[in-house]
């Protein structure tokens, strides 16, 4: 993943905070935020996940005019290649780790660059062979300073899990 421009917008922060059920006014009330230690609206700890909105190639968003693998007239609208059971061929999210270098603020404009980390395999009890892969994303601000480092571990399984 590479995101060339991820504008951190106050409205987006408000909607994201609502979606995780967090009513903290630091995520939507500028007047409140002014009187706090951080001094302005900041983003919740997992907000950089929403950089997907600004990734033109993000695979889990329907693209205008392109087939989508979710249901319409049929249970699925597209055959996905490389399907591997759990995750509908996209893999499941196994781990996520963030390192915060400074609070992320409304008004920041980030870039994100991802590099692949290690991969490994494990024999699962319920889902057959598990294939894990790590990716590390650095989010930098308008001055090129590192704001958040995110490490994601994905897993592909042979069979659906949790059923």
Partner 1 sequence: MALRGSDLKPGQTYEAVVVDNLTRTQIVQYAGASGDYNPLHTDEVFATKVAGYPTVFAHGMLTMGMTGRMLTDFVGDGRLLSFGGRFTSQVWPGDTLTAHATVEDVGQQDGVSVVALTVRTVNQDGNEVFSGQATARVD
Give 5-41 as a 3 state SS string.
EEECCHHHHHHHHHHCCCCCHHHCCHHHHHCCCCCCC
Q: For partner 1, give the closer residue by CB, 129 or 132.
A: 132
Contacts of 51 (CB under 8 A, 6+ apart): 1, 3, 6, 110, 112, 137, 139
26 binds partner 1 per the rule CB under 8 A: yes
Q: Closest separation between CB of residue 156 and partner 1, Å?
A: 13
Contacts of 41 (CB under 8 A, 6+ apart): 10, 13, 26, 27, 28, 29, 30, 33, 105, 106
Residue from 8, 42, 106, 127 binding partner 1 (CB under 8 A): 42
Span 75-134, contacts to partner 1 by CB under 8 A:
75-76, 85-88, 90, 92-100, 103
162 binds partner 1 per the rule CB under 8 A: yes
Q: For partner 1, give the closer residue by CB, 143 or 163.
A: 163
22 binds partner 1 per the rule CB under 8 A: yes
Residue from 9, 12, 111, 138 binding partner 1 (CB under 8 A): 12
37 binds partner 1 per the rule CB under 8 A: yes
User: Interface residues with partner 1 (CB under 8 A)?
Assistant: 12, 15-16, 18-22, 24, 26, 36-38, 42, 44-46, 49-50, 52-53, 55, 58, 60-62, 69-71, 75-76, 85-88, 90, 92-100, 103, 151, 160-163
């Amino acid at each position: 993943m590479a995101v060339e421009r991820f504008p951190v917008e106050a409205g987006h922060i408000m909607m994201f905070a609502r979606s995780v059920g967090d009513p903290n006014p630091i995520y939507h009330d500028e007047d409140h935020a002014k009187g706090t230690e951080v001094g302005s609206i900041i983003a919740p700890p997992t907000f950089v996940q929403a950089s997907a909105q600004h990734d033109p190639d993000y695979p889990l968003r329907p693209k205008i005019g392109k087939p989508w693998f979710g249901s319409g007239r049929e249970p699925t609208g597209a055959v996905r290649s490389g399907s591997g059971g759990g995750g509908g061929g996209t893999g499941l999210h196994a781990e996520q780790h963030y390192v915060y270098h400074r609070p992320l603020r409304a008004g920041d404009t980030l870039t994100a660059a991802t590099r692949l980390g290690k991969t490994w395999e494990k024999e699962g009890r319920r889902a057959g062979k598990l294939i894990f892969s790590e990716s590390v994303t650095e989010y930098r601000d308008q001055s090129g300073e590192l704001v958040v480092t995110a490490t994601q571990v994905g897993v592909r399984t042979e069979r659906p899990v949790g059923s």
